[in-house]
Structure 1
Amino acid sequence: MIYRIEETTSTNDDAKRPEYGHDDIIWAERQTAGRGQRGHTWISRAEESLTFSHILTPTFLPVAEQFRLVELVALALTDSFDEFGIDTRIKWTNDIYVGDRKMVGILIEHSYSGPTLARTILGTGINVNQTEFDPALPNPISMAQAAGRRFDREEVLETYRRHAARRYTQLERGEYAALEEEYRQRMYRLGERHPFRLADGTLFRAEIEGVRPTGELLLRHDDGTLRGYLFREVEFVIESRDR
């Protein structure tokens, strides 16, 4: 069920409440304390964007395989944008890009029950109809800008929900190889050589070859070595700006 509310601090916080269950979506018009990855704040315009949290209870999935939920939500979103005629790519781990510009941010939070997942909250912010953005944001884009037309936000959300249900069925069936390969094929800058930055500030160039099932980004360095990096160990460098 979709619960639509006018204002909240964070839909991810709301989604932790026990009255919400599997496949429920909390859609807020305004968030006063929306969160993004790496501790960033998610900024959105009321009535022009979509900010929502989708609850799943994948109790069959081991904690060590939680990256499969990243694959699920990223693929469901790119499936949705394909349906609207917008070509998107997944910027590891789970931002959605049009060209070199960010259209979607995702914050995933898990709770556990012993060795398996108990509850997963897929917090998502989609730039839908915005044409003006905070100048502090380095590279935003909206669906409207990408496609040259405005969109019905409820239709966008229902489209996402339909594709997420299909991807969740794949997950339940154990179709992991298919999810992994589709995620890989849709990766931003796959097979291209670009600059990256390590956590200590060191710059280097490498080519994306894919991602491990556990979520590490696989980069082929100039000396030929293939190395895997965890989320906070490496950053993309885009147009001389950190992303």
Structure 2
Amino acid sequence: MTTYDFTDRTAVVTGGSRGIGYATAHLLAASGANVFLTSRMAEAAEEAAAQITADLADTTGAGTVTGLAGHVAHPEAAAAVCAAAVEATGRLDILVNNAGTNPAYGPVADQDPALVAKVFEINSTSPLVWIRAALDAGLGAETTGSIVNIASIGALTMEDGIGVYNSSKAALLHLTKQLARELGPRARVNSVAPGVVRTRLSEALWKDHEDAAAATSPLGRIGEPADIADAVAFLAAPSSSWITGTNLVVDGGQLVGTSSISGK
């Protein structure tokens, strides 16, 4: 992992008990941030925070990590988590909207409208709820705030089976750009679009056929949560202070594909 300087800055990371959220919380804390990670269940959030704290026990300059229950679909949870972060540290600088869901599979027209609404609630609307809560709690009051939304390369293409999920992430990309336009200069708003990453959410895309999944990328492997965490930290860092409204694709080249012409 790359290292950054987030000394004295405060970050909230939703869905931080595993996968990309966990790796992001770990990197931000290792780089000096005081991190508040969430999960639907308090126990999972607290266990993740304790594990990161133990991992960083000998890391000079590491920040603190706190695990809090916070269902991303509940506005009251968003308000409580953001308020707790400010109460504990006096500020809020970074919000990472990482939590997501993908329960709908199959042709879009065949999906239960209630299930489609749930996917959009978690993947598209909830980030907006947390952004509103973060702003109300004071994000961007001390320095320009940074908001990073976790999207997907599926938002940029067509794909069988997970069209509902991809559509919800496409909506998140549009919201990212619109919010960047509206919230500057108080806050920068960017997104990261991962390809196939070794997480529980995306297991169907790689588990039991990892070699085939890796072969679709010019770099010859699937992604790791740390790959995405690095991209999030880059966009959240003060050194990226003139970047907003941008979507950073991190997919090992999956979108460009591989060539039948050998260049090796």
TM over 0.5: no
Higher relative contact order (CA 8 A, sep 6+): 2
Q: TM-score, normalised by structure 1?
A: 0.31
Q: TM-score, normalised by structure 2?
A: 0.29
More helix by share: 2
